[in-house]
Amino acid sequence: MRLFLYRTLTSFLSLVTRVFFRTVEVVGLEHVPKDGPVIFAGNHPNSLMDPVLITTTCQRQVRFAAKDTLFKSPFLRPFLWVLGSVPIRRRMDHGGDKIDNSDAFSALYEVLEQGAAFGIFPEGISNETADLAPLKTGAARIAIGAHEKKIPVVIVPSGLSYRRRDRMRSRVLVQFGAPIVLDEALLALQREDPREAARRLTAQIEEALRAQTINAPDFDVLRVLDCVRRLYKPEGMSLALAEQAELMRRFVESWERLKETPEIASFYRDVRGYLGMLDALDLSDRDLSVGVSRWGAFKHFLGHLTLMLVFVPLALPGILLHLPVIGFAVLAGSKFTSRTDVQSTVKMCITTAFTLATYGVAVVLVYRGLPFPYDIIVAPLVLLGLLTTGWATIRVLERQAAIRHGFSVFFRLMNLKHEMVELRAMRDGLRRRILDLVDRYAPSTLERVIERHEQDVIDL
């Protein structure tokens, strides 16, 4: 029964995340063992969203270690039970007193002995910044302890990179790295100096996690620097996702080092402005690269017309219906915690639960209020209408910038060819600037992902 509930809940959560996010991209599934004991060790930038994403993408049944205070919530407790979460006592949650987690460790060892998988976030906290916090040694101690019990566990580093974690219809990248296998040298060190062995394995986990995550000071910076990465890559050249991630990491590190430099700051502002112009016209870099035909231009115009004349009216009932729910979710999220990462998770949970409850109540009231056979005809139509207005609301939220500039966008779309010529010129100028900045500021000893001569040949 519990397995059935687990699969039902994870299927539902998979649907919710694919509504909440525009794109959930998964990389490195080939690194996840199909069976056998596994520890998924992930970074933790977005509270309860992080275990949900790992659970719904790793293609394994996973039990997560969770702080014991979560089990006090009457709303979360049933879900934690279905997911088989194991409560972990943290010193910070219990006044700094010495903590005994022997029962929790025993439960986790039992999971591994069964050849199953569990997940843990070695940072120990849900981190409000995009940077990786110092790791605790708990994951390493559990892995070493498992090997002492002759359990051949491996650690799979699991990186989560959100483009805008606080926004609906954003993007998230889930990366699974090569498994970390405990070697004999580490096990020998464990017999001599357990603390040093745990520290050394924790350092390995941290290095592997940094290779799977893109650490930035905030999530707005990620969006701009992701555009910089696309500008830097020559058109027509394909890069593996690992190479794209490496480029992104380098740009983030360079931004942190050089952001006070006037020309770097000016370039950043110009890229952000370029993105705003693209967003308003619902265009992408690819559109500028391949061009837009007359039919394509007409489709953009028709799309904006549909947005303004169809989706906005359809969304009005949805906005009115969901506004109390969203308002309550915002107030509840702020009341429960001041942490922005936790607030976003609370808001998503409350909005999902109350929206489904609202839909259910509306359908039941219609069904019970109408005589047969109108009840079985109208009730499904009401549900369809609710789902339609809900989807329209999401579309309107996605295109807020275009709606705010609704009529001016119409005029710009009517002259889209000219607009694209100007945007293309802006893009070419930004690309020349990033190549020049990389030439001047990148260390000469750094091996480039894209060699300079490859940039020149493709530009020709």
Angle between helices 340-369 and 374-398 (to 10 degrees): 150
State the Cα–Cα distance between residues 429 and 87, nearest whole angstrom: 54
Confidence band for 356, pLDDT divided at 50, 70 and 90: confident
On the question of pLDDT at 21 being above 90, the answer is: no
pLDDT recorded at residue 166? 61
Question: In this predicted structure, what is the pLDDT of residue 239?
Answer: 75
Share of the chain above pLDDT 90, in %: 30
- Give the pLDDT band (50/70/90) at residue 102: confident
pLDDT in tens, 4-19: 999 998 988 887 787 7
Q: What is the mean pLDDT of residues 172-193?
A: 90
Average pLDDT over residues 26-39: 92
Look at residue 434 in the predicted model and tell me its pLDDT.
94
Determine the pLDDT at residue 458. Answer: 46
pLDDT of residue 398: 65
- Band (332; pLDDT cuts 50, 70, 90): low
Q: Tell me how far apart the alpha carbons of residues 282 and 260 are, in angstroms, rounded to a whole number.
A: 31
pLDDT for the residue numbered 173:
82
Over the stretch 393-445, which tens digit does the pLDDT of each residue have?
877 776 766 676 666 666 676 677 778 888 889 999 999 999 999 999 988 88
Could you tell me the residue ranges of all domains in the chain? Answer: 2-212, 219-282+415-459, 294-398
Residue that has been written with the tokens 């091996």 in this structure: 447
List phi, psi (to 5°) of 250. Answer: -65, -40
pLDDT at 223: 76
Does 324 score more than 80 pLDDT? no
Q: With bands split at pLDDT 50, 70 and 90, how would you rate the model's confidence at 335?
A: low
- Residue-wise pLDDT for 203-226, tens only, equals 999 988 887 877 666 657 877 888
Residue 122, pLDDT above cutoff 90:
yes
Average pLDDT value for residue range 36-44: 95
Give the phi and the psi of residue 176 in degrees, each rounded to 5. -105, 125
- What average pLDDT does range 86-91 have in this prediction? 79
Q: To which CATH superfamily is domain 2-212 assigned?
A: Glycerol-3-phosphate (1)-acyltransferase (3.40.1130.10)
Positive or negative, the CA dihedral 253, 255, 257, 258 is: positive
Residue 95's pLDDT is: 64
Please state whether the predicted TM-score (pTM) of the whole model is above 0.85: no
Distances (CA, A) of 228 to 94, 248, 272, 346, 435: 45, 9, 10, 32, 10
| Whole-angstrom distance, CA of residue 74 vs CA of residue 222 | 36
| Separation between Cα atoms, residue 178 and residue 155, nearest integer Å | 9
Assess whether pLDDT exceeds 90 at residue 387: no
DSSP letter at 30 equals G
The more confidently predicted of residues 69 and 285 is 69
Q: Which of 264-268, 271-275, 372-376, 403-407 has the lowest mean pLDDT?
A: 403-407
The end-to-end CA distance of the chain, in Å, is: 63
Q: Which helix (H) or strand (E) holds 332?
A: helix 312-336
* pLDDT interval class at 337 (50, 70, 90): low
> Do 393 and 315 form a contact (C-beta atoms < 8 A)?
yes
Q: Judge if the upstream peptide bond of residue 45 is cis by omega within 30 degrees of 0.
A: no
- Round to whole Å and give the CA distance between 355 and 348: 10
- How confident is the model at residue 40, as a pLDDT? 97
Q: Look at residue 42 in the predicted model and tell me its pLDDT.
A: 95
Please, what is the average pLDDT of the chain? Answer: 82
